[in-house]
């Protein structure tokens, strides 16, 4: 028999448990489960065994914890050493420029460590100033010009003379259409010391005639016609685009770039005249098409009474053309007799298909001649005759010319006679050649 409280074995006739003092056969504090068989001990574990189990379990858990912490610490030390090794390899590669070594280092070791090392290497190997060169073309110290910026008349007069001198100095480096870098050239070296208004020195100098202007960032961009003074007279010698930049020079600007613009001679599709003189020799002798045959021995002669003031001729082109001026061989250039005996036009009215109208007096060079605010008509020095044996192309630059001072896109040009210089014999006004540019 066993004690129902502590499970100690009892004598069959015992009244009390010799271990816990529990009365034998008492129902007080007895377990609710059925009494164990007298032949088998109860399945309940003794209190001493429970305490021992808990102690063993605690010891095992402690050992596992200590071992785990030790393993983690060892791994951390290994990981730190690996990162230091990779970082040292990458830094050595950056100093020596060995890209292969950088790649080798990036491919070894734990993936997380690799990502961290690569991030550091990329940040340190790419200088933070590498994005700056994109803005170096426009120095940061130069303010961007306002959209409504323009040159004053005095500024343009000075740049007109200096720019013309600069262009003439580098003509050989200005093939049509290409852009020439003029930033290293000293613009002030070509300036006139007394380029004020239109005094004698300024009027005799070559200059740029402004006909277009715009602002691009910190550049003032002008389209201009080069007017050359060769000692014998002034003549137009090409169209140019100049990029001006503010600086601290005596002129206040420098020419950063120069471009010679294309300048094609427009093809004349048809010519009409308000009247034509009828010749007894042949009907087509003085026909209007003579002004475009590049032959100094032929001319158009108006057919009205008197000197033909108010008569006109019209040049029509093959489609719209961007024009800047006209070149004219006035009078009848066949020989000395025809040139002196007939009248020559001294003033024209010009009309264009875009509605523009301008009156031009030949031989005049107004005060704003370099500014392009009004058309100018200049008498050239080439008054050669067909008997001199020179061809059209050789005399063309020195002919009388009219500069519009702007670009005019038009389908035609109509020239009306406003004034003439009378001839010594005939009341007939003649024009030998006309070409547009």
Please spell the DSSP secondary structure of 323-372, one letter per residue. EEEEEEEES-TTSHHHHHHSBEEEEEEEEETTS-EEEEEBTB--TTTTTT
Q: Determine the pLDDT at residue 140.
A: 43
pTM attached to this predicted model? 0.66
What's the gap between Cα 19 and its chain centre? Answer: 108
Q: How many helices (H) and strands (E) does the chain have?
A: 7, 13
> CA 341, CA 413: separation in Å to the nearest integer?
28
Q: If you ran DSSP here, which 8-state letter would residue 262 be given? A: P
User: What sign results for the dihedral spanned by CA atoms 393, 394, 397, 399?
Assistant: negative
CA-to-CA separations, 51 to 6, 9, 54, 57, in angstroms, rounded? 16, 22, 5, 10
Between helix 99-107 and helix 47-96 the angle, nearest 10°, is 170
> CA 429, CA 66: separation in Å to the nearest integer?
122
> CA 2, CA 397: separation in Å to the nearest integer?
143
392 burial type by CB count under 10 A (0-12 exposed, 13-18 middle, 19+ buried): middle
Q: Determine the pLDDT at residue 125.
A: 41
> CA 425, CA 437: separation in Å to the nearest integer?
34
> CA 27, CA 41: separation in Å to the nearest integer?
19
What's the gap between Cα 167 and its chain centre? Answer: 23
Three-state secondary structure of 177-227: CCEEECCCCCHHHHCCCCCCCCCHHHHCCCEEEEEEEEEECCEEEEEEEEE
> CA 264, CA 271: separation in Å to the nearest integer?
19
Alpha-carbon dihedral 240, 241, 246, 249, rounded to 10 degrees: -20
Burial 273-303 (b: 16+ CB within 10 A, else e): bbbbbeeeeeeeebbbebbbeeebebbbbbe
Q: Quick one: which of 198, 238, 245 has its CA closest to 219?
A: 245
Residue 201 CB coordination number (10 Å): 13
Please give the structure tokens belonging to residue 157. Answer: 């007069």
Q: Quick one: which of 258, 259, 282, 286 has its CA closest to 271?
A: 286
> CA 1, CA 8: separation in Å to the nearest integer?
9
* Cβ neighbours of residue 100 closer than 8 Å, sequence gap 6 or more: none
Query: Residues 185, 255: contact at Cβ < 8 Å?
Result: yes
Rounded to 5 degrees, φ, ψ at 417 are -75, 120
Q: Max alpha carbon distance in the chain (Å)?
A: 180
Give the three-state DSSP class for 377: strand
> How many CA within 13 A on the CB side of residue 426?
19
Q: Determine the pLDDT at residue 269.
A: 96
Kind and range of the H or E run holding 49: helix 47-96
CA-to-CA separations, 356 to 199, 327, 345, 412, in angstroms, rounded? 31, 19, 21, 11
Give the three-state DSSP class for 111: helix
How far the first Cα of the chain sits from its last, in Å, is 139
Per-position pLDDT tens, the chain of length 437: 677 777 777 777 767 677 676 666 654 443 333 343 344 444 434 444 344 444 444 554 554 454 455 554 444 445 455 554 544 554 554 444 444 434 333 333 333 333 333 333 333 443 444 433 343 444 444 668 999 999 999 999 999 999 999 999 998 889 988 899 999 999 988 988 654 444 445 556 899 999 999 999 999 999 999 999 888 889 999 999 999 999 988 899 999 999 999 988 899 999 999 999 999 999 899 999 999 999 999 999 999 999 999 999 999 999 999 999 999 999 999 999 999 999 999 999 999 999 999 999 999 888 788 899 999 999 999 999 999 988 888 899 999 999 999 999 999 999 999 999 999 999 999 999 999 99
Residue 88 CB coordination number (10 Å): 11
């Amino acid at each position: 028999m066993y004690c129902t409280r502590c499970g100690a074995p009892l004598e069959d006739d015992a009244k009390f448990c010799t271990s816990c003092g529990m009365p034998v056969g008492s129902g007080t504090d007895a377990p609710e489960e059925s009494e164990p068989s007298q032949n088998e001990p109860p399945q309940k574990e003794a209190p001493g065994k429970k305490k021992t189990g808990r102690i063993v379990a605690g010891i095992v858990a402690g050992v596992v914890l200590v071992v785990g912490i030790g393993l983690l610490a060892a791994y951390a030390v290994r990981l730190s050493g690996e990162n230091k090794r990779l970082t040292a390899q990458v830094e050595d590669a950056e100093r020596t420029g060995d890209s292969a070594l950088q790649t080798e280092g990036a491919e070894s070791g734990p993936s997380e460590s690799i990502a961290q090392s690569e991030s550091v290497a990329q940040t340190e190997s790419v200088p933070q100033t590498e994005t700056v060169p994109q803005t170096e073309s426009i120095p940061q110290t130069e303010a961007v010009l306002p959209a409504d910026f323009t040159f004053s008349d005095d500024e343009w007069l000075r740049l007109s003379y200096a720019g013309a001198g600069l262009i003439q100095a580098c003509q050989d480096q200005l093939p049509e259409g290409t852009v020439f870098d003029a930033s290293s050239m000293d613009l002030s070296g070509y300036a006139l010391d007394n380029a004020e208004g239109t005094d004698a020195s300024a009027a005799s100098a070559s200059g740029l005639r402004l006909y277009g202007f715009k602002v691009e960032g910190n550049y003032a961009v002008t389209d201009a016609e080069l007017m050359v003074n060769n000692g014998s007279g002034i003549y137009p010698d090409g169209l140019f685009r100049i990029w001006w930049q503010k600086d601290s020079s005596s002129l206040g600007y420098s020419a950063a770039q120069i471009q010679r613009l294309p300048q094609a001679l427009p093809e004349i599709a048809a010519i009409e005249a308000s009247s034509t003189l009828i010749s007894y020799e042949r009907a087509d002798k003085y026909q209007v098409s003579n002004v475009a045959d590049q032959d100094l021995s032929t001319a158009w002669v108006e057919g009205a009474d008197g000197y033909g003031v108010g008569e006109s001729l019209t040049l029509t082109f093959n489609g719209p053309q961007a024009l800047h001026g006209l070149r004219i061989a006035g009078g009848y250039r066949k020989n000395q007799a025809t040139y002196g005996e007939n009248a020559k036009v001294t003033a024209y009215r010009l009309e264009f298909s875009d509605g523009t109208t301008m009156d031009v007096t030949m031989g005049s060079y107004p005060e704003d001649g370099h500014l392009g605010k009004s058309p100018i008509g200049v008498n050239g020095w080439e008054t050669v005759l067909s008997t001199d044996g020179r061809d059209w192309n050789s005399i063309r630059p020195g002919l009388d010319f009219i500069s519009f001072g702007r670009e005019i896109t038009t389908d035609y040009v109509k020239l009306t006679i406003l004034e003439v210089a009378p001839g010594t014999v005939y009341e007939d006004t003649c024009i030998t050649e006309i070409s547009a540019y």
